[in-house]
Amino acid sequence: MTTAQLKPREMAKAFYDQNADYDGLFFVGVKTTGIFCRPSCSARRPKPENVSYFHDADTAAQAGFRACKRCHPLNADGRPPTWVQTLLKALEQSADGRLPDERMRELGVDPARARRYFRQHHGMTFQAWARSRRLNEARETIRSGEQASKAIRGYSSESGFRSAFDRAFGHAPGASAKQASIITAQIESPVGPLLAGVTDDGVCLLEFVMQKRHTRQLEAICKWLQCKAVPGEHKWLKALRKQLAEYFAGSRQQFDLPLIYPGTSFQQSVWQQLQGIPYGETISYQELARRVGDENASRAVGTANGCNRLAIIIPCHRVVNKSGNLGGYGGGLHRKSWLLKLERGEL
């Protein structure tokens, strides 16, 4: 969606409300400072007459504006800021998989800033995220056939490791081969970051990172699958990144991935029907209800749409009101409009 497709009043409201849901969809140039920001920037709001709106960062830069050092608008598509990338690189190089606060300060990063960022984007502090990631690596080592004693990294004793492992996964290290877990990662996109989750059986979560929705959806799938979620890497995450990149580039119309979407029998029937809506086309909630088997269940299918935990892949964005208006969308109507325009070749 470009600024031409977003109404000026909508952009102004998003900017003055500091609405992070619009990050990446447009950028704001401030004439008095010469910088451009994302809508959610925490800086003091300028007077409306000193604001210009741009559909992408390049256009803002060409107009003479510099990127804001507070909100880092160049990272609005989900790419972690440079300082976060520095932390992750140092973590990879750490022999014990740890990065104490003192080391973070040596890298020029305030630990409090890291805590805030990781709480917002991953639902946990940086240290908790690093610990969970380290435990997931240990779990994969054990599942490959190694002894638990060889998987310990960053723990002074085997008992400490086993205790932390049990808290993270809900079972002892030796039971890893039989117990499932959800591996999560953040994926960048043109409409903002996405939280993805997979198990060995396939993709179970793809949700826009916005407010508390992605946290609620992650908690819901953990409850359905009766397992814990930890950050890490997995073959299905790699496949998902590749196919999403192709989709956003306009070269992929269908996803070829195993999907996991537990729910009530009614929800599952709705989600199965959604997968039958052709790329670039839309149907009404009433038509979806008819396909499910009850023409009077428009409201119920709308609720089931909102519970869909596999955004884009199970295309609930292709359902609109009978009048042709967009209706609702858990990821925000601006994203729904953008996705439909992408599929129609209108971007």
What are 206-265's pLDDT values in tens digits? 998 876 788 889 899 999 998 888 888 899 999 999 999 999 999 999 999 999 999 999
**Residue 1: what pLDDT?**
45
State the pTM of this model: 0.68
Beta-carbon count within 10 A of 106 CB:
10
| Single-letter amino acid, residue 290 | R
Question: What average pLDDT does the structure give for the chain?
Answer: 85
Is 41 annotated in the active site?
no
**Residue 237: what pLDDT?**
96
Catalytic residue among 41, 71, 227, 316: 316
pLDDT (average), residues 56-73: 83
Residue with tokens 């967009």, as numbered in its chain: 326
List, for residues 163-187, the tens digit of each pLDDT value: 766 766 666 665 555 667 899 988 8
Catalytic residue among 37, 41, 68, 71: 37
List, for residues 261-272, the tens digit of each pLDDT value: 999 999 999 999
Report the percentage of the chain scoring pLDDT > 90: 42
**Residue 3: what pLDDT?**
43
**Residue 24: what pLDDT?**
74
Is 37 annotated in the active site?
yes
Dist. CA 134–CA 293, nearest whole Å: 48
**Residue 155: what pLDDT?**
61
Dist. CA 133–CA 183, nearest whole Å: 9
**Residue 57: what pLDDT?**
76
- The pLDDT of residue 2 is above 50: no
Q: List b or e across 109-132, with b for residues whose CB sees 16 or more CB atoms inside 10 angstroms.
A: bebeebbebbeebbbbbbbbbbbb
pLDDT (average), residues 63-79: 79
CA proximity to 124, closest of 111, 115, 134:
115
**Residue 304: what pLDDT?**
94
**Residue 117: what pLDDT?**
80
Dist. CA 347–CA 343, nearest whole Å: 9
pLDDT (average), residues 193-209: 93
Q: What is the DSSP string of 232-300?
A: ---HHHHHHHHHHHHHHTT--SS--S-B-----HHHHHHHHHHTTSPTT--EEHHHHHHHHT-TT-HHH
List, for residues 123-143, the tens digit of each pLDDT value: 788 888 888 887 777 777 767
Q: Where are the alpha helices (DSSP H) in 123-212?
A: 126-143, 148-151, 158-169
Report the helix count and the strand count for the chain, using DSSP H and E: 14, 10
